[in-house]
A = this chain, B = another copy of it.
Amino acid sequence: MDRAVDQLLEARWVIPVEPHGVVLEHHAVALAGDSIAEVLPIAAARAKYTNALRVDLSEHALIPGLVNAHTHNPMTLMRGLADDLPLMTWLQQHIWPAEARVMGPEYVRDGIELAIAEMLRGGTTCCNENYFFPDVQAATYLRHGFRAVVGLPFIEFPSGWAKSRDEYFDKNLAVFDEFKGERLVSMTLAPHAPYTVADESFSRIRMLSDQLDLPVHIHVHETAQEVEDSKKQHGQRPLGRLHALGLVNDHLIAVHMTQLLDSEIESCAGAGASVVHCPESNLKLASGFCPAQKLRVAGVNLAIGTDGCASNNDLDMFSEMRTAALLAKGVASDASAFDAAFALQAGTLNGARALNLGERIGSIIAGKQADLTAVRLDALETQPIYHVISQLVYATGRQQVSDVWIAGARKVENGTLLGFDSAELRGKAQTWRERIANFG
């Protein structure tokens, strides 16, 4: 640690996530610039770091910033556009036509800004983005000092972003070059899904993933229909096809995975692939039930994502952790499955690991980036407190988030979102609503 400790976050409880399940009482997290320098008892911290700014978190639990491992943030502007519809009606008659009308840099920028505000207010400090216009995405996240992993999109259809396979590759690689070396923004290769990407593209993506050390972020086995269609078209299940193409490896971020054979779970575990579970989206679109507890037991790195606001309809990682834990118990017929400490790990460290950021964020240990979320636990809704981690997962709402730091910079202070004009965000959202609703 070269830089001096400049902030002491003095918390009633610190939950570092590493080691697993630990709750430290009356501990301080000492920050030096953008990094965590030390975690130690408050009294010792005050004696050691006499010049640091002290931040009083005496009613708070301090946790790693939440990592939303799958989202489509521009679609925040389509929150609730078309609910309670079958998947294909929803997509083909509402979402895609609306997107076709508004897709462009301004839409992506404004949607992401609204999303950043929502994520910060809810304690999320990093997201795994998946949409078009990755250049606009990256620039928007950087402008707001928000940590993001931006997907470079590949799909065998023309879009506002690119018109042909070659153009997707060319433009995406140019974006990768443009933002290489950024501290807060990194990239994934993001082929949309097995059913929308051809083998030839997958082969190029696999090669790029190896050469550039980039994760591959993809929707896989979202529905039973997808699996059946693949069997007809390719003679194998989507995961089998990806395996044959060399993509089932430790770069794979497989999202949804509601349809899994035990052999596929073993295969993912053996390959070191990550799975992103999006329980609320899977329920809302009636996609199926991800066998989350089985994946966990098999040793697969399991992260959590909200999916986009058109199918959730929020970016609330507290709610998503809770739903993941509850649903996993129901699906596994085991009330001890997917316990609270694991849910918190899935919403933080496992997300970081999936995004190839496991060495930098996701837990509160010395040397990692200071991405931190403070949660007030003195609300009546979280009284009394028997077990802090349980309370965070099963009883805490995101409105109890009081303070957020990304790379040591304060983004939310005592409940106030910094750096955004809420009235302006609302105004822009309403303007987009007028444009979208007329075609939705």
Contact = CB atoms under 8 A, between A and B. Distances in A.
Given A314-B381, A380-B114, A333 B286 contact: yes
B422 A380 contact: yes
A246 B333 CA distance: 32
A286 B293 CA distance: 13
B394 A397 contact: no
A86 B337 CA distance: 9
Contacts of A122: 381
A289 interface: yes
Contacts of A426: 378, 380, 383
A48 B398 CA distance: 42
B334 A286 contact: yes
Contacts of A289: 330
B336 A390 contact: no
Interface stretch (A23-31, A36-44, A77-85, A352-360): A77-85
Interface string A94-125: 00000000000000000000100110011000
A126 B117 CA distance: 34
Interface stretch (A62-70, A171-179, A181-189, A428-436): A428-436
Nearest to A309: B395
Interface string A302-339: 00000001001110100100010011011011111101
Contacts of A329: 283-286
B395 A80 contact: yes
A289 B394 CA distance: 19
Bin chain A's interface residue count: 35 or more
Interface in A406-440: 422, 425-426, 429-430, 432-433, 436-437, 440
Interface string A7-50: 00000000000000000000000000000000000000000000
A345 interface: no
A61 to B, nearest CB: 13
Nearest to A223: B333
A245 interface: no
19 contacts: A80-B387, A80-B391, A83-B394, A84-B335, A84-B390, A85-B335, A114-B383, A118-B381, A121-B380, A284-B329, A286-B335, A313-B395, A314-B381, A314-B395, A323-B323, A383-B425, A384-B429, A384-B430, A386-B433
A15 B366 CA distance: 52
A283 B334 CA distance: 9
A383 B336 contact: no
A164 interface: no
B121 A425 contact: no
Interface string A176-211: 000000000000000000000000000000000000
Contacts of A394: 80, 83, 284, 312-314
A402 B396 CA distance: 19
A244 to B, nearest CB: 29
B335 A285 contact: yes
- Determine which residue in A286, A383, A398 has the highest number of CB atoms from chain B within 10 A of its CB, and name it: A383
A399 to B, nearest CB: 4
